[in-house]
Amino acid sequence: MRIGQGYDVHPLKVGRRLILGGIEIPHTHGLDGHSDADALVHAVCDALLGAMGEGDLGQHYPSSNPQFKDLSSLTMLQDVSEMLTRNGYVLVNLDTVIMAQSPKLGPYLYQMAVRMAEVLHVTDKHVNVKVKSGEGIGMIGRQEGIATQAVCLIDEM
């Protein structure tokens, strides 16, 4: 068995869609980044890559490469999922947390878990998504950005 952890943070920006966990969430701001800036999926990818000993997302999808501009993070997750299988691993479980002051994400957490589970070829029981507010403190509390963390456990097939 191997453990991996991932982290990501993106600033919020007017004029961008807010994509988290592979779903679009209605909001006045979206996450700014080279791809669709889905910070949750990025953290998940980093956790899985770390568990496999395969570096991080930036090594596989560098922001300096124009080919990845506005790329769906679910495409990245699909690639990482296929790498997991090729390397002879299965996902045992994935636990994530989104740190966001707004919007209120509670109504979307299950949808995020289901969407990521579909791409990872596991049931939604293998994927957990939580949210914590910034309690008005720091970058999160001032609604300047959203941060995410993920931890996973993988095992040999």
DSSP 8-state assignment for residue 68: G
pTM recorded for the entire structure: 0.96
CA atoms within 13 A on the CB side of 130: 9
Name, in order, each residue with C-beta under 8 angstroms of 33's C-beta and a sequence gap of 6 or more.
10, 39, 63
DSSP string, 94-121: EEEEEE-SSS--GGGHHHHHHHHHHHHT
- Structure token pair of residue 54: 């395969």
Single out the residue of 25, 36, 51, 17 nearest to residue 120, CA to CA.
51
3-state helix, strand, coil in the chain (%, to 5): 35, 30, 30
| pLDDT by residue, tens only, the chain of 157 residues | 999 999 999 999 999 999 999 999 999 999 999 999 999 999 999 999 999 999 999 999 988 888 888 899 999 999 999 999 999 999 999 999 999 999 999 999 999 999 999 999 999 999 999 999 999 999 999 999 999 999 999 999 8
Rounded to an integer, what distance in angstroms lies between the CA atom of residue 100 and that of residue 86? Answer: 35
Domains located in the chain, CATH noted: 2-156 (3.30.1330.50)
Name, in order, each residue with C-beta under 8 angstroms of 102's C-beta and a sequence gap of 6 or more.
27, 143
